[in-house]
Amino acid sequence: MKILATGFEPFGGEKINPSWEAVKELPEKIGNAEIIKHQLPVSFKGVKEKLPKIIEDVRPDVVVLTGQAGGRVNITVERVAINVMDARMEDNEGYKPEDEPIFEDAPAAYFATVPVKRIVNALRENKIPAMVSNSAGTYVCNTAMYIALHYIAINGLEAKAGFIHVPYIPEQVLEKPQPSMSLEMIRKAIEIAIKESIKS
């Protein structure tokens, strides 16, 4: 069994992105599952170009995408991705789409196929603050989630996919009044999410 775990590069003036920092720290294997890690660009066009190729190359059984949601107070497991790109700030390539579809003539939305509520319950049982989120936003995180689910759907793959948003880590909020979570807790949360996703 193969798990594709992704995080994003830094963006918005940050020097690090806790999603990728946590994914990097995941073990090479979880149970019998091999963990394959990839960093994604904070670029609408870059994700659209690179993520399908990564999924095609890896042929994962489960895709767990992660991204930073600065300001959120807990781990949020996304329920739905929508077919729109609408950015309040430029991506790392200077692109700022407004009300653009990710793909023309594609479904309006996809639901995550990982067990969203079971993951949230498992995180809480492990004393990690977590909740279901019904909006992955309209920035690159939502785009990545939509692309993964769309690619899996149109190619008839058996893989499950989902997206997890993570808070800032403490070093990012030393001078701003924002909530944070330790990198180790974020890493543990992603590992638990993977374990729940590979259960039958």
Which residue type does 31 have?
A: G
Q: How far apart are CA 36 and CA 60, in angstroms?
A: 9
- Which strands sit side by side in the sheet containing 130-133, from one edge to the other? 29-30, 33-40, 2-8, 62-68, 160-166, 75-78, 130-133
What is the distance between the alpha carbons of residues 8 and 1, in angstroms, rounded to a whole number?
23
| Cα(187)–Cα(64) distance, integer angstroms | 12
Catalytic site positions: 78, 141, 165
